[in-house]
């Protein structure tokens, strides 16, 4: 039986997660600098 990962396409939701994570970090940076 095939055991290698099938070709899975990159989805927009993955990009959304990465952008959200980056936004959280930037937001935390500004919160830290503001207070």
Contact set with another protein (CB under 8 A)? 1-6, 8, 10-11, 13-14, 16-18, 20-21, 24-25, 28-29, 31-32, 35
Distance in Å, CB of 30 to another protein, minimum: 10
Alpha carbon distance 4, 25 (integer Å): 35
Distance in Å, CB of 13 to another protein, minimum: 5
Alpha carbon distance 34, 27 (integer Å): 10
Distance in Å, CB of 18 to another protein, minimum: 7
Half-sphere exposure of 13 (CA within 13 A, CB side): 1
């Amino acid at each position: 039986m095939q055991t290698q990962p099938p070709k899975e396409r990159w989805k927009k939701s993955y990009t959304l997660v990465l952008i959200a994570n980056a936004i959280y970090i930037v937001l935390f940076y500004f919160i830290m600098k503001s207070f």
